[in-house]
Amino acid sequence: MGLLIWLALGLAVGAVAAFGLADTKGDTASTVALALVGAAIGGFVGNVIVDGSFEGNPAGITGAVVGTIVTLAIYRAADTTI
């Protein structure tokens, strides 16, 4: 259940970022895909740090959002074509 929550948050944040970062050369699909990866990794790390479970607790949810933002920030910083 926790993974689904993380992916839903990653999808939402990725969609917002795709429209907010419309000036980049990347397309919407790659932005949302990176957001989903960031949400899964961030949610997992957030849960492991707090209690090691795979449930949808607040730490995992926060980790998913932070992971999404960090992943997209790294992607944007690495994009040298801007």
Residue 58 pLDDT? 81
Residue 21 pLDDT? 60
Decide if 36 contacts 14 (C-beta within 8 A): yes
pLDDT digit string (tens) for 50-66?
877 666 678 888 888 88
What is the identity of the amino acid at 28?
T
| CA 72 to mean position of chain CA atoms | 7
DSSP state of 27: -
pLDDT digit string (tens) for 1-38?
677 877 887 788 877 777 776 555 567 778 788 888 88
Q: What are phi and psi of 15, to 5 degrees?
A: -65, -40
Q: Is the pLDDT of residue 81 over 80?
A: no
Residue 47 pLDDT? 82
